Amino acid sequence: AMVLAHEIGHAVARHNAEKITQQMTITMFRSALFLALGMDIAAGPLMLGLQLPYSRTCENEADTLGLQLMAKACFDPRSGPKAMSRLSSGHASAMPEFLSTHPSSATRVAKLEKQLPEALAVYEGGCHTAGRFFSSFSQF
């Protein structure tokens, strides 16, 4: 449920539209610099200073939205951090986080665990009745 809710979080936050706008702005900036200087010196700094941090921010936002969506859909949000840690098990990354499009799994799990109390309040506030109903099916 966490992975699906995370992807829905990207859609809800309109990350694709934001990235298209960002890419258009970066392309115009790089083109202007190229015309002025005759060389493309902005690619690396823009990637490290703007695109990668923004991508990690989007991933964190999608995680946050996903956890809330899970809770509102009556899925136990405590499984969210567990799912994110399982996704990375056996895939130790040698790449530093600042060079990655995604936060490290440890960072993601820590942030999700900090957000659990709020998600649990949503889950427990609206899912007790539904939870008892759905848990009766686990007997089959």
How confident is the model over 52-107, as pLDDT tens digits? 888 999 999 999 999 999 999 999 999 999 988 887 665 556 678 888 888 888 88
124 is catalytic: no
- Reading the block at residue 9, the tokens are 């979080």
CB distance 62 to 7 below 8 Å: yes
Q: Which residue has the higher pLDDT, 92 or 28?
A: 28
What percent of the chain is modeled with pLDDT above 70? 86
Which of the residues 7, 18, 97, 124 is marked catalytic?
7
Note the pLDDT of residue 44.
85
